[in-house]
């Protein structure tokens, strides 16, 4: 590590991703319990497992950079744990929507940020943000449920909005606490490697659009 703002930001980004994947594993594995059938439970567990393999790749990359991966994750534990506590699904469909919508927003965000990183880190981020099968599975399950009982659509749309709200408030907290990450976003790294305000605005616009597209795919209003 060269100690520059960007290196610190890279470690932070890999750390936040690595813990995010570990906690996604944990929550998906637990939510699998809500599955109505063994096949659904197995499918959600498969997604949990895919998240865990991303966690392993990120750990490996942090080790390559000479960083203790668990120290790099530590600052983000409270953030993710608070998010998951405040958005514990109360039904199988809520857990399916959370897996798809939550994973989708997270991945879009990390992908956008990865453009400002070194090629190797960027490639890894793009790889761990690839869809792990949440999309098709979630769309199938939610559409089938709405077809059977249209009244679930309203409740799930509200749930989607709550997920976004909780994610934004946690992201804001991270931005306040982690200067290096925030600098990457607002172009303050001093080396011109971060986003400028126009890029930031564009990114948020795209995140919102893509979120709306996912909600629409589920048959829900954003």
Residue 49 is a binding residue for a copy of itself (CB under 8 A)? yes
Residue 29 is a binding residue for a copy of itself (CB under 8 A)? yes
In order of 71, 77, 127, the CA distances from 83 in angstroms are 20, 10, 24
Handedness of CA 89, 175, 200, 11 (dihedral sign): negative
Q: For 196, which DSSP code?
A: -
With vertex at residue 36, the alpha carbon angle to CA 137 and CA 45, rounded to the nearest 5 degrees, is: 55
CB 85, min distance to a copy of itself, A: 13
CB 41, min distance to a copy of itself, A: 7
Residue 41 is a binding residue for a copy of itself (CB under 8 A)? yes
Residue 110 is a binding residue for a copy of itself (CB under 8 A)? no
Residue 57 is a binding residue for a copy of itself (CB under 8 A)? no
Question: How far is the C-alpha of 186 from the C-alpha of 181, rounded, in Å?
Answer: 9
CB 59, min distance to a copy of itself, A: 7
CB 29, min distance to a copy of itself, A: 4
Q: Return the residue of 2, 3, 39, 119 that touches a copy of itself, per CB under 8 A.
A: 39
In order of 10, 60, 132, 210, the CA distances from 70 in angstroms are 15, 11, 24, 32
Q: Give the interface size with a copy of itself as a residue count (CB under 8 A).
A: 26
Q: Are 117 and 13 in contact (CB under 8 A)?
A: yes
Q: Segment 70-89, which members bind a copy of itself (CB under 8 A)?
A: 70, 73-74, 77
Residue 81 tokens, joined: 């744990």
What is the contact surface with a copy of itself in residues (CB under 8 A)?
19, 22, 25-26, 29-30, 32-33, 37-39, 41-42, 45-46, 48-49, 52-53, 55-56, 59, 70, 73-74, 77
């Amino acid at each position: 590590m060269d100690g520059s703002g960007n290196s610190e930001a890279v470690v932070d980004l890999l750390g936040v991703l690595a813990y995010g994947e570990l906690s996604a594993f944990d929550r998906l594995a637990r939510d699998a319990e809500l599955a109505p059938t063994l096949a659904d439970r197995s499918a959600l567990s498969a997604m949990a497992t895919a998240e865990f393999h991303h966690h392993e790749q990120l750990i490996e990359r942090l080790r390559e950079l000479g960083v203790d991966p668990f120290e790099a994750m530590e600052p983000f534990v409270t953030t993710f744990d608070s998010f998951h506590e405040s958005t514990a699904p109360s039904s199988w469909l809520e857990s399916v929507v959370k897996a798809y919508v939550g994973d989708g927003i997270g991945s879009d965000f990390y992908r956008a940020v990865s453009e400002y990183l070194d090629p190797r880190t960027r490639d890894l981020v793009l790889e761990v943000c690839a869809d792990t099968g949440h999309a098709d599975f979630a769309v199938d399950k939610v559409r089938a449920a709405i077809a059977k009982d249209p009244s679930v659509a309203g409740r799930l749309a509200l749930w989607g909005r709550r997920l976004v709200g909780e994610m934004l408030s946690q992201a804001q907290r991270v931005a306040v606490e982690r200067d290096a990450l925030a600098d990457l976003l607002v172009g303050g790294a001093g080396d011109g490697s971060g986003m400028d305000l126009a890029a930031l605005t564009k990114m948020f616009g795209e995140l919102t659009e893509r979120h709306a597209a996912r909600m629409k795919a589920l048959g829900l209003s954003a």
